[in-house]
Amino acid sequence: MMPLLRWPRSLATRLTLIFLTGLVLAYGLSFGSQFYERYLTGRNVMLDNLERDLSTSVALIDRLPAEERASWLPVLERRNYHYRLDGGLPGTPMSMDDMPMAVPSIERAIGKRFALRFETIEGPRPHFQVHIRLSDGSPLVLDVTPSSIPVAQWLPLMLVLQLLVLALCTWLAVRTAIRPLTRLARAVDHLDPDNPAPPLDERGPTEVQYAARAFNALQGRIAAYLKERMQLLAAISHDLQTPITRMKLRVEQMDDSLERERLWSDLDEMQHLVREGVAYARSMEGSREALCRVDLDAFLDSLVLDYQDSGQAVSLDGRSGALIETRPHALRRVLSNLLDNALKFAGSAQLQVKRDAHGVHLLVLDEGPGIAEAELEDVFKPFYRVESSRNRSTGGTGLGLAIALQLSQALGARLSLRNREHGGLCAELELNVTG
């Protein structure tokens, strides 16, 4: 069974809930204690005034001649009580276990001089009457309608305004605390050593300055570390080409034999691996190529015709009619790697072009064996090969897709792989369209 209340997942919502709940509770306790103190004060003042007014009014009525008493009753009438000279309304004796708070005050005011009898009067608005016997034996009835202590009309409005101020201050406090964290998370999410973003603003509170400085230093160290490793890979791969070339020259001078053929194949594979290593190192700097405006359809026609002229089974399907801002050499290398991969495992490839509101989608389709779902992400890792064979013609170097991924990221494109429903692999490159 799902719980009715869930703890919010957002840190901003959690902090807002904690702060606002705490402030509202603290304010509620403070307001409640002040309101209760105001209630007690108002009640005591009201009862004191009641005692003084009753004592004076009853004494005045008692001393007035009987024929003048009726004319004074309107003068002595108050908002919650008035006087009657008749026997009053029929009622029931009041239970002293649940008597109104005004009863003790009435007894203190006039109970010592006159005999009192309290009766409860039922009706739409319950009230009670106090029966008094004056000095001359005449009846006097005090009709009391209890009411709550009045609350100032501005008090509820003031309470709402104070709660709004609390909510606004809480929102400002949480926003001030969360904004640097959000900015830092966004910077981490867009961290790209190949295309460094501007450093974070280091202004603000001490903690924010420290976090921004730490992130800027981290970004610089990562970029320097990767650059050093790529330079090392490029240098080793480049320097290996010279001794490999010398070894191939020496092999050429050997007599024809099975060992000569095997040695030549090994050297050829080593040379291919070295070239791929240099290409991978250079792909990390793909963003350095100048951007230019390219007619995508003409570009793809040229690429496919080059393959067809060399006798490769590559076809083009679809038109985009798009002009794109891109790095043409990097784009050509990405598509060539994808087409070469399809040709190697399937013998043929189809380059399909689709356009929608999100951009242009270039799909390289083949009818090969595909890739296991668990390995679709791993094949982008350098030197990762799906096939365990060490034969270059089947297993490859494991750098083709890694180079394609690096260059596609430099282009601001998105490269993904998926298996086709009826067999084969689909490599999709999504490009942004500028015209």
Segment 2-20, tens digit of pLDDT: 455 677 777 777 777 888 8
Segment 123-164, tens digit of pLDDT: 778 888 888 888 888 888 888 888 766 666 777 788 788 888
Segment 163-174, tens digit of pLDDT: 888 888 888 888
How far is residue 327 from each of residues 212, 251, 286, 293, 430, measured CA to CA in Å? 33, 40, 8, 9, 14
The average pLDDT across 96-109 equals: 83
Rounded Cα distance between 342 and 366, Å, is 6
The first and second tokens of residue 179, run together, are: 């904004």
Say what percent of the chain tops pLDDT 70.
84
Rounded Cα distance between 54 and 169, Å, is 51
Min mean pLDDT across 95-104, 152-161, 353-362 is at: 152-161
Q: How high is the pLDDT of residue 287?
A: 55
Cβ neighbors of 256 (< 8 A, separation 6 or more) are none
The average pLDDT across 31-36 equals: 79
Q: How high is the pLDDT of residue 180?
A: 78
Rounded Cα distance between 238 and 161, Å, is 74
Handedness of CA 134, 139, 140, 146 (dihedral sign): positive
Segment 265-280, tens digit of pLDDT: 777 777 766 766 666 6
State yes or no: pLDDT of 78 exceeds 70: yes
Give yes or no for a contact between 408 and 415, defined as CB atoms under 8 angstroms apart: yes
Q: How high is the pLDDT of residue 3?
A: 53
Strands (E), 176-252: none
Residues 287-318 as b/e (b if ≥16 CB within 10 A, e otherwise) read: bebeeeebebbebbeebbeebeeeeeebebeb
Q: What is the rounded average pLDDT for all residues in the chain?
A: 80
Strands 349-356 and 314-317: parallel
Min mean pLDDT across 53-67, 214-228, 320-334 is at: 214-228
User: What percent of the residues of the chain are helix, what percent strand, and what percent coil, each to the nearest 5?
Assistant: 55, 15, 30
How far is residue 111 from each of residues 51, 115, 380, 398, measured CA to CA in Å? 11, 6, 100, 107
State yes or no: pLDDT of 389 exceeds 70: no
Segment 278-308, tens digit of pLDDT: 666 665 555 566 788 888 889 899 999 988 9
The first and second tokens of residue 355, run together, are: 């356009």
Identify the band that residue 365 occupies on the pLDDT scale cut at 50, 70 and 90.
Answer: very high
Tell me which amino acid residue 267 is. L
State yes or no: pLDDT of 187 exceeds 80: no
> What DSSP designation does 24 have?
H
Rounded Cα distance between 5 and 327, Å, is 52
The first and second tokens of residue 233, run together, are: 């890979």
Give yes or no for a contact between 340 and 306, defined as CB atoms under 8 angstroms apart: no
Residues 400-424 as b/e (b if ≥16 CB within 10 A, e otherwise) read: bbbbbbbbbbbbebbbebeeeeeeb
